Amino acid sequence: MADLHEPLCFEIPVRLNHRRRIDAQLGRELAHGWEGRGASQRAGRNREPHPVRDLDIQRNGTAGIDAVKQEDGSSSSVLVHYNSCVPLARPVRHARLKKAFLDAWEREAATTMKVLRAYPGGKQAMKPHATCRSAQELAWTFAFEGVAATQALQGEFKFPPANMPAMPQTWSDTVGEVERVFKKMADKVRTVDDHQLNSTIKFHTAPQQIGDVRRQDFLWLMLNDMIHHRGQFSVYLRIAGGKVPSIYGPSKDEPWQ
């Protein structure tokens, strides 16, 4: 997988007019693009950027233009070397990636709990179709995802997870256990170091195929699976006569206006 935090580097040919300034049309284009940002910021003045004075600079730790060189000795064009960013120190980068996942997990888990709590009591055995799981069985999928994600963070990973508890008898206990599992998983992520998050487990990578999957990628897989099954459960909720809350936007039962 490509590391999107690495610098993006490329060269841009720039046309110069007879006064060795960037021509007006291209200057307007640069003003709206990344390649023009460094020049205009560093110039600090409301004037057309000068290719030598403004652009021939050294990196200052932020995104911008690094250097300009004359192209083949010509006075009509230059090559602008652009770097999008300075690579983040790896501990900082990994901390940001972990925080991004935790923020997403806790936000989506809270929304999932809101949907589960909206489900009317006494209808946990309801099935939209004879071949479907019951509402309670579908809800228990969320607990499965939390337990699987937690287990994937420690040692050898087995799927299905070996320590998966039995589904509770009542609807209220099921909802309570899902909430507990969600919190336990997030707490576990906070304690895991970067080396562990970036190590791999064996998991399905294609039909009938097992391969190496980075543990942090598996966490995102479980999060996406939670969102997927929450969409399914919202249909159960509507069929059961419950009120579907706002998820990513207003719903019929929870309008924003």
pLDDT tens figures, 148-198:
999 999 877 787 787 889 999 999 999 999 999 999 999 999 999 989 999
CA distance 162 to 139: 19
Handedness of CA 28, 32, 38, 42 (dihedral sign): positive
Q: What is the CATH number of the domain that holds 103?
A: 1.20.120.450
- 184 and 153 assigned to the same domain: yes
136/175 same-domain check? yes
Are residues 187 and 103 both part of a single domain? yes
Q: Indicate the residue among 83, 105, 132 that finishes a domain.
A: 83
Same domain, 124 and 59: no
> pLDDT tens, position by position, for the chain (257 residues)?
444 444 455 555 656 566 655 555 554 554 444 444 444 444 444 545 544 444 443 444 444 444 444 444 544 444 554 444 444 445 566 678 899 999 999 999 999 999 999 999 999 999 999 999 999 999 999 999 999 999 999 877 787 787 889 999 999 999 999 999 999 999 999 999 989 999 999 999 999 999 999 999 999 999 999 999 999 999 999 999 999 999 999 999 999 98
Give the three-state DSSP class for 183.
helix
| 20 and 130 share one domain | no
Global pTM reads 0.64
* Domain ranges, residue 94: 90-239
CB 153 within 8 A of CB 189: yes
Q: Are residues 233 and 109 in the same domain?
A: yes
Alpha helices in 153-214 (DSSP H): 171-191, 194-197
CA dihedral 19, 22, 27, 30 (to 10 degrees): -170
Q: Provide the domain count of the chain.
A: 2
Residue ending a domain, choose from 35, 64, 83? 83
User: Does 245 fall in a domain?
Assistant: no
Kindly give, in sequence order, each residue whose CB lies less than 8 Å from that of residue 104, ignoring residues fewer than 6 positions away: 223
User: Which one, of 37, 40, 43, lies nearest residue 83 by Cα?
Assistant: 37
